[in-house]
Amino acid sequence: MDRILTKESIRGITPYPLGIAAEELKEKYKLSRIRSLADNENAYGCSKLVSLAMSKQPGNLSRYPDGACSALKRTLGNFLNLPSAYISIGNGSEELIRLLARAYISEGDEAIMADLTFPRYKANVVIEGGKAVEVPLKDGLHDLVEMGSRMSSRTKMIFICNPNNPTGTALCKEAIQQFIAAVPAHILIVLDEAYYEYMNHEKRTEAEKLLTFHDNVAVLRTFSKAYGLAGLRAGYGMMHPSIIAELDKVREVFNVNALSQAAAIAALEDQYFVRMSGEKNRTERERMRGRIQELGFMCYASEANFLFIQGALAEKLMESGIIVRKFTHASFQGEAVRLTIGTEEDNDAVLEAIGQAVRGRRV
């Protein structure tokens, strides 16, 4: 089928690598148990309030959901101390990335981003005919000085992923505030904080303060990670209402389904669950990082629910039934893996497999 040409902008794009399916892996290595630690999902599930709220949804599935997500915006507004007019809800925060690119990137526009970061920034910019200006990470962190120096008359957007996926590293809020203050008001800064709830408190930006001083900032967060609702698809953005008005022009009218809206409200009400997830994650993450480094692998300090480990470990972990995401990249030699922090039991299995890989290498 080569007679129907796609739009030129998407010809060079490869679909997001979805990874090996659990069933396939089970079959291949005759495994009894698979641990999926590839997508940074919450190891502890989600709040119990969520299924309760979903079961109480009116059985009225023939009705469209609230296209304005009013109740969810109200609940979020109270929680975030922000007027709900500053909040936009997406079908996952990934949708908000797409809408921002859709609304703001024209042919030839440039968007500055890190060279090793969430791949959906570049994909969505390129789809709209824009160009990704990729700035190498410095010690796993966004190099804000270099990113600032790459601004040009074509720059429309700057993406900062904090903590950065896949390295897990986080900039402090002062560095981000300073950077934002130095960017001209006609450039939109997209601050993706998908792992915000996992960060050390003193590094967390205060979105409501940023938005008081800057109309050109969009802060994105999600219910997929610390809230444990990846399967439902709900994320939110905090930004000036004038930006939201533009996103509303290009989004689907009913982009967030009724069950997701109800679930997100319930999840938000259970901050105990979020704190518990964060604390357990921190304990396990630090234990894992220490052990993995002792085993001889370089691993950045992470403020998210995953670790970025430099070493050719993906195959060995797969053989043990542990699915991780493998990376090769110009910025480091050889291979690396991004490992989601699982439960204590998951993590013990990971350490066992890495230990075996190391011993295997020595003999």
Ligand X SMILES: *Cc1c(COP(=O)(O)O)cnc(C)c1O
Q: Which is nearer to ligand X, 93 or 302 (CB)?
A: 93
- The secondary structure of the chain in percent helix, strand, coil, rounded to multiples of 5, reads 40, 15, 40
Query: In Å, what is the CA distance from 65 to each residue of 62, 115, 119?
Result: 9, 38, 30
* Closest separation in Å from C-beta 234 to ligand X: 7
Pick between residue 92 and residue 130 the one whose CB is nearest to ligand X.
92
- Least separation in angstroms between residue 28's CB and ligand X is 27
Query: Among residues 247 and 354, whose Cβ is nearest to ligand X?
Result: 247
List residues near ligand X by CB under 6 A.
Answer: 40, 92-94, 118, 161, 165, 192, 194, 222, 224, 230, 235
Q: Distance between CA atoms of 239 and 247, rounded to whole angstroms?
A: 11
The least distance separating ligand X from the CB of residue 201, rounded to whole angstroms, comes to 20
Beta-carbon count within 10 A of 271 CB: 13
Tell the smallest beta-carbon distance from residue 32 to ligand X (Å).
29
Comparison of 95 and 284: residue with beta carbon closer to ligand X: 95
Helix 258-269 × helix 48-55 angle, to 10°: 140
Which C-beta is closer to ligand X: that of 16 or that of 29?
Answer: 16
Please identify, using beta-carbon distances, which residue of 179 and 223 lies nearer to ligand X: 223
Q: Closest separation between CB of residue 233 and ligand X, Å? A: 6
Identify the CA nearest to 50 among candidates 249, 224, 266: 266
Helix (H) or strand (E) holding 217: strand 217-222
Q: How far is the CB of 362 from ligand X (least distance, A)?
A: 35
Look at residues 275, 299, 279, 297 and name the one whose alpha carbon lies nearest to residue 355. 297
Distance CA 275, CA 64 (A): 33
